[in-house]
Amino acid sequence: MLNMIWGSMIIIGIVYGSLTGHMAEVTNAALDSSREAVNLCITMIGVMALWMGLMEIAEKAGLIDKWTKAISPFISFMFPDIPKEHMARKYISTNIIANVLGLGWACTPAGLKAMEELAKLEAERGTPGYASVNGPVKNGSVETAGGRDRGGITDSRGVVDGRKGKGERIASNEMCTFLILNISSLQLIPVNMIAYRQQYGSVNPAGIIAPAIAATFVSTLVAVVYCKGKGRKRRV
C-alpha cells in the first residue's frame, strides 16, 4: 500500500512538472534529494554503529540481564500468561530496553524473536493455526511442541484444516499487547530524531529529548491502560 501511495505521488509530481514547465526543478529536486539521502544514511550508519556497540558492551558486561530483571515485574504485569522461564520474556524485555534507549535498530531483531517465541507458545497451547510452529507435518497430521496430533494440515498461511475442524492463525493477546507496547514505547534518548535534527542543521539537536520523553510516556501509559482493559474484557 505504501509503495502505491509513494509511487502515485512521484508520478503525479512528474506529470504536473512536465505540464507546467517545471521539469528542470523536478530533476534538480530529485538529484538533491538523492544526495541528501546518501549523506543521511552515512550519518545514521555512524550513529547506529556507536549505539549498537554500546548495547553489545552492555550485554557483555551483564547490564542487559540486570535491566531485564529490573523490568521483570512490569513484564509479569503486562504478560501474566507467559511462563516466567519462557524465552519470549527475554526477547520482550530486550526489545523494551532497546526502545527505551531509542535504539530502533537493536529492538527490531529482538521483536521478531519475541513474536516467534509467542507463536511457539501458542503452538504449545494447541491454538489452531499454530500447530506446525514447533513440529513437522507428517502423514496428514500436525505435531505440536507437546507431541499432540492436531489431526490437520497447516498450509503456508497458517490455516489448519482436518478432522478436528478449521482455524485461521489469529494474533494472541500477548502478541497484540507486545505490538502495541513496541509501537508506543517510552524513549529516554530519541537517537534517531537527534541524528536527523543534527543532519539538517538544528541549533539544538538534543532539544527534542524532553518533549519526546513526555510524548512517549503518555503514549505508553495509554497503551498499558488499553491493553489491560482489553485483556480483562477477553477474560470476562
In angstroms, the Cα distances linking 190 to 53, 64, 194, 223 are 17, 19, 6, 19
In angstroms, the Cα distances linking 186 to 97, 112, 199 are 9, 19, 24
Provide the pLDDT for residue 230: 80
For residue 158, what are the domain limits?
135-169
Provide the pLDDT for residue 201: 83
Examine the domain organization and report whether 178 and 111 are in the same domain.
Answer: yes
Write down the pTM of the prediction: 0.66
How many domains, the chain? Answer: 2
**Chain length of the chain:** 236
Provide the pLDDT for residue 92: 92
Examine the domain organization and report whether 49 and 165 are in the same domain.
Answer: no
The residue type of 163 is R
The residue type of 152 is G
Kindly tell me the sign of the dihedral angle through the C-alpha atoms of 52, 56, 57, 62: positive
Examine the domain organization and report whether 163 and 220 are in the same domain.
Answer: no
Q: For residues 112 and 109, what is the distance between their CA atoms, to the nearest angstrom?
A: 5
User: Cell 504485569 identifies what position?
Assistant: 77
Q: For residues 174 and 162, what is the distance between their CA atoms, to the nearest angstrom?
A: 27
Examine the domain organization and report whether 183 and 196 are in the same domain.
Answer: yes
**Which of 143, 169, 195 finishes a domain?**
169
Structural contact between residues 155 and 183, judged by C-beta atoms closer than 8 angstroms: no
Q: Which residues of 49-78 are buried (b: 16+ CB within 10 A; e: fewer)?
A: eebeeebeebeeeeebeebbeebeeebeeb
Examine the domain organization and report whether 88 and 145 are in the same domain.
Answer: no
In angstroms, the Cα distances linking 53 to 49, 85, 185, 220 are 6, 28, 22, 27
Q: DSSP string spanning 36-95? A: HHHHHHHHHHHHHHHHHHHHHHHHHTTHHHHHHHHTHHHHHHH-TTS-TT-HHHHHHHHH
What does the angle CA 60 – CA 61 – CA 64 come to, to the nearest 5 degrees?
Answer: 80
Examine the domain organization and report whether 186 and 103 are in the same domain.
Answer: yes
Q: Is residue 31 part of a domain?
A: no
User: Cell 537517537 identifies what position?
Assistant: 191
pLDDT tens-digit profile, the chain (236 residues): 778 898 898 899 889 888 888 888 888 888 888 888 888 788 778 777 777 787 778 778 888 788 888 999 999 999 988 988 888 998 899 889 888 887 776 778 888 899 999 999 988 888 877 876 665 444 333 443 344 343 333 443 344 444 344 557 788 889 999 999 888 888 888 877 887 788 778 888 888 889 989 999 999 999 999 888 887 766 65
Examine the domain organization and report whether 123 and 228 are in the same domain.
Answer: yes
